[in-house]
Structure 1
Amino acid sequence: MSEVYYNYVDGDWVESETGDTFEVVNPADTTDVIGGFQRSSSDDATAAVEAAADAADEWADVPGTERGSILTEAARHMADRTDELTETLTREEGKTLTEAGAEVQRAVDIFEYYGQKAVDFGGEVKQPGSRDANLYTVEEPMGVAGLVTPWNYPVAIPAWKSAPALATGNTVVLKPANGAPNVFRKVVECLDEAGIPDGVVNYLTGPGSDVGGTIVDHDDVDVVSFTGSRSVGEMIHEQAGANQKRVQTEMGSKNTTVVMPSADLEEAAEIVGAGAFGVTGQACTGTERVAVHQDVHDEFLEELIAYADGLEIGPGLEDPDMGPHFDRDHLEGTLEYVERGRDADGTLAYGGEALEGGEYDDGHFVEPTIFTDVDSDAAIMQEEIFGPFVGVMSATDFEEAVELVNDVEFGLSTSIVTRDHAEANRFRDAVDFGIVKINEKTTGLQYYVPFGGMNASSSETFREQGDAAIDFYTITKTVYENYGRR
């Protein structure tokens, strides 16, 4: 019998009113049951929102220094439990220990960063238009923040949504993805140990339609932040916007790296390979397309195949180069795209097979996959696959390469590998993507600068992370004070 874990509502660990649970398993070994989690209902979500609303005014009145101290203390508890959090993340999501450890450290850094930001949080003083007067702004929290987060970064994304919300005086209701809820549940334990007041943080698991839908729709929720699929994100944006809530959605993408003749091709293959096959390709910033100048296409392809062939694939707890797919559906989805690539007359240059036998039998393992000779408008080059899958295209010149980058509906992260600085600057200006990288993989982000996409990747309302997150969770009052008038 696996252990059963509870929701955290109004300062207590509580069972769902449904009495039902669901199991979470290790994607590398589905016989390894992580535990049972609450199959919460709309009523459970309503109780969590009401608890957050009841605590909102008091938490907003807590001085920023005190709020910051709690976040910093929570970060210390997280750091003390780094090994535990890392193993938990690997077991439930599938990342390698190295990848999971980096994500846990990022979550620690985020809480520390916003712990300091809470101290600096305030407004601006401006010159008044008359004597004996003051003119200034104050920043106030929005109120209750409803946060809906995905499975692929199950501690970093909840951290970068909840920490700035808390730092600025908002209360939080957070629904993690059902497939990987345990690692952030342990972060909530750290917040509880750090002294977060009752009702300020609320965490509950369950169906998105019941729990997530109630959070988005509830009148007491003032601001909604979502990361996940495009279809759900667009629905949430429409729902929340219709109710006059402030909303932020980050959805999928189809990201291209450009390789120019001046590039070191072995280095370029490492950049593309890490962006395409790192975290098993399960990142919205992952590289799924490559536009290579025709003069170096064949040599680059050889280098990329050699990179893929050198990857060790296995259970994340063994810390290989690449772990399993998150679940059976995602594995089958990748394999289906392999067949669609063949149907589109593409050339399967490497991989494309599920791995079986021995330690692979109870997990969701697949080879890294490389296609070439595929048109940009083919399904495998337009639809987000979310797996270790990349298509390599040939470009006659720089201008065509940029056209290929922009030849998708999305616009989250793109990069170019070149030694030509002017070429890099032209690329930066010409692409319609929220994140532009020069001689770097499309994945991997700093937590203190804005993050967000363009076009179908994002609602394009507010950015996440850095000071941009402070802006999202606050509203400005402008104060005119005339103290000379009697």
Structure 2
Amino acid sequence: MTTVDSYNPADPDDLVVSAPAVGAAGVEDAIGRARAAQREWWALGAAGRSAALGRAANALEAAGEELVALTVREVGKPLAEARGEVARTVAIWRYYAQAPFAAAGDVHEPAAGPGLLLTRRRPYGVAGLVTPWNFPLAIPTWKAAPALAVGNTVVLKPAPEATACALRLAELAGLPDGVLTVVPGGGEEGAALVAGADIVSFTGSTAVGRQVVATAAGRGIPVQAEMGGLNSALVLPDADFAQAAAHLAAAIAGYAGQKCTATSRVIAVGDAYRPLTEALTKALAQLPAAEPSSASTACGPVINRQALERLLTAIDSAKAAGATVLTGGVRADRPGWYLEPTLLADVPAEHPLANEEFFGPVAVLLPAADLDEAIALANGTRHTLATSVHSRSLDTALAAADRLDAGMIRVNAPSSGVDFHLPFGGAKAASYGAREQGSTATDFYTASRTVSLLPAGENR
């Protein structure tokens, strides 16, 4: 039997979990059980579903330290960030525990005569969720909790590297059999889930995301796909350079840059280039790659050997093409898959590091003569998820926000970081379909139906 083996990226000899891959047949069986369970789950009503999600939040909170330790161990997330993710996970379950009581439609007057016109939102049935490893608790939660709140059941296919976290999340949630099912596996299981679910939500790579969208669209089912971002930070000459450097360093090196909202391109406008270069180089050097279990660590390991080798190869290629390494650029001298936070200048515009998401603690520094050029650089990518703008001028920040293509724009803050009660998503090829999180998520997981109620005996 094929197994899914998940290893500790800080200690590659540490096998966290070995779980049987369920195969396509196992996914089909899980969908069948979820479809049968959905009828009873929906029949619980708003109060029943709300109570169940509230109990899940309480159970996860009670197991908080266990989940923190598991997150640090399985995906190498630094301790402080792991604690933040667990707290956010609990908060998301509590937030969506109130969603069953939200209005599920509207009442309208008919165009003429007596009667009522209603719109009502109803669940699709089985939600198929395909999730990544970098937020092994929060992303499955912000997909599953709204889907469950409005009456769907869920089949979750986590990334192999986050299998233990997903299994424990579902176990602690304690929902009725078939309501939240985890199917360990890889590409075969993901494809089977997309081929069989009634609605699909995906977060992962662009290449796989496009396949998911094509399959779901071909079946005529709703689909959303978050496919990462090549995120820029614009730093204006009037910025507080020390503050901006601290924000940028956190967005580049935090969790080894393994966030879809991480900063990978720093655009220094005009006279900002020299002081920003100095401040940011210094700030990154103060965030060395270190053991994730330490409370002081910001940059832990990257997820596996393949990720580390891809990053080192890209850095070497950029250097060969004329780039200058301002800081980092080397593997840390310790066991595990560690790369020192890296900042490069003079990277050719056509080089992959300037055009592709590499998902690591690496950023390129780009000069721009003025704000117009900076905005053109920031918008000159197909993956505009998040952009940050750093300036003391509110007028400048608002003008930039109006012209940037990104789905999320943060002023005087790191590009990384989201508010789970607000819509999350990018522009252009970064995202497809409806936004995630907030009340937008419950709309995605429900279909609108129009009901006409007319008096008996009336001809319409």
Q: What is the correspondence of 1:159-198 to structure 2 with a 5 Å cutoff? A: 159-192=141-174, 196-198=175-177
- Alignment-derived partner of residue 290 in structure 1: 266
Q: d(CA) in 1 for partners of 2:168 and 2:120? A: 34
CA distance in 2, matches of 1:265, 1:53: 55
Q: Deviations over 1:345-385 (max 9, x none)?
A: 111111100012xxx12x11111000012243322110111
Are 1:137 and 2:146 counterparts? no
Residue 475 in structure 1 maps to residue 447 in structure 2: yes
Q: Counterpart of 1:457? A: 430
1:232, distance to aligned residue in structure 2 (A): 0.3
Whole-Å separation in 2 of the counterparts to 1:406 and 1:161:
28
Offset, 1:90: 0.5
**TM-score (structure 1 length as normaliser):** 0.92
Question: What does residue 369 of structure 2 align with?
Answer: 396
Q: Quote the residue 1:10 is aligned against.
A: none
Give the corresponding residue for 1:354.
Answer: 331
Match of 2:199 in 1: 223
| Other-structure match for 1:300 | 276
Q: Is the 8 A contact 1:280 1:387 kept in 2?
A: yes
Secondary structure, aligned partner of 1:393:
strand
1:150 pairs, out of 112, 115, 132, with 132
Aligned residue type for 1:475? A
Displacement after TM superposition at 1:121 (Å): 4.4
Q: Which of 90, 109, 114 is residue 96 of structure 2 equivalent to?
A: 114
Q: Distance in 1 between matches of 2:347 and 2:195?
A: 43
56-65 vs 24-33, which moves further: 56-65
| Aligned residue number for residue 213 of structure 1 | 191
Give the distance between the partners of 2:151 and 2:128, measured in 1 at CA.
14
Match of 2:59 in 1: 77
Helix, strand or coil at the partner of 2:22: coil
Letter paired with 1:269? A
SS in 2 for 1:377: coil
The letter for the 1-side match of 2:271 is D
- Structure 2 gap ranges (5+): none
Please give the alpha-carbon distance, in whole angstroms, between the structure 1 residues aligned to 2:3 and 2:400. 50
Following superposition, the deviation at residue 135 of structure 1 comes to 2.1
1:59 and 2:41 correspond: yes
1:184 Cα deviation (Å)? Answer: 2.3
1:387 to 329, 338, 360: 360
CA distance in structure 2 between the partners assigned to 1:120 and 1:65 by the alignment: 11
Q: Which amino acid aligns with 2:450?
A: T
SS at match of 1:249: strand
Give the equivalent residue in structure 1 for 2:300.
323
Question: Which amino acid is the alignment partner of residue 89 of structure 1?
Answer: T
* Structure-2 residue corresponding to 1:418: 391
Q: Residues 216 and 148 from structure 1, CA distance in 2 versus in 1: closer, same or farther, beyond 3 angstroms?
A: same
Deviation at 1:206, TM superposition (A): 1.1
Equivalent residue of 1:125, what SS?
strand
Hey, what's the Cα distance between the residues in 1 that align with 2:284 and 2:328?
8
1:130, distance to aligned residue in structure 2 (A): 4.2
Corresponding residue of 2:233: 257
Once residues 54 and 321 of structure 1 are traced to their aligned partners in structure 2, the CA distance between those partners, rounded to angstroms, is: 45
Contact in 2 for aligned 1:375/1:393 (Cα 8 Å)? no
The Cα shift of 1:58 comes to: 2.5
- 1:59 to 1:73, Cα distance in 2 relative to 1, 3 A: same
Give 1:207 deviation, angstroms.
2.0
Q: In 2, Cα distance between the equivalents of 1:22 and 1:140?
A: 35
Distance across 2 between alignment mates of 1:453 and 1:164: 20
Q: Please, which moves more after superposition, 27-36 or 273-282?
A: 27-36
Pick aligned residue for 1:340 from 313, 317, 335: 317
Question: Do the aligned partners of 2:229 and 2:383 also contact (CA within 8 Å) in 1?
Answer: yes
After TM superposition, list the pairs within 5 Å mapping 1:193-204 onto structure 2: 196-204=175-183
Alignment of 1:12-51 (within 5 A): 18=1, 20-51=2-33
Q: Match of 2:261, SS?
A: coil
Matched position secondary structure for 2:66 = helix
Measure the CA separation in 1 of the matches of 2:395 and 2:457.
Answer: 59
What SS does the aligned partner of 1:187 have? Answer: helix
Note if 1:371 corresponds to 2:371. Answer: no
Report the alpha carbon displacement of residue 343 of structure 1 after superposing the two structures with TM: 2.3
Change (3 A) 1:182 1:121: farther
Deviation at 1:21, TM superposition (A): 2.4
Secondary structure of the 1:159 match is helix
Distance of 2:244 and 2:262 partners within structure 1? 15
Secondary structure of 1:179's aligned partner: helix
CA contact (8 A) 2:231 2:385 kept: yes
Residue 484 of structure 1 and its aligned partner are, at CA, apart by 6.3
Query: How far apart are residue 198 of structure 1 and its match?
Result: 2.0
TM-score (norm 2): 0.97
For the 8 Å contact 2:270–2:367, the answer to whether it is kept is yes
Contact 2:288 2:341 in 1 (8 A): no
RMSD value, Cα = 1.3
Contact conserved, 1:72 with 1:112, CA < 8 A, in 2? yes
Match of 1:11 in 2: none
Stretch moving more, 317-326 or 395-404: 317-326
Partner of residue 233 from structure 1, selected from 191, 209, 219: 209
Question: Cα distance 1:121–1:329, how it changes in 2: closer, same or farther (>3 A)?
Answer: farther
- Separation in 2, partners of 1:383, 1:215: 28
Is the 2:308–2:337 Cα contact (8 Å) retained in structure 1? yes
Q: Give the whole-Å Cα distance in 2 for the aligned partners of 1:400 and 1:377.
A: 17
- Give the number of aligned pairs: 457
> 1:485 Cα shift?
4.3
Aligned partner of residue 172 in structure 1, secondary structure: strand
The superposition leaves residues 81-106 of structure 1 with CA deviations (integer Å, 9 ceiling, x where unpaired) of: 11000110010000111011111111
Inter-partner Cα distance in structure 2 for 1:293 and 1:463:
31
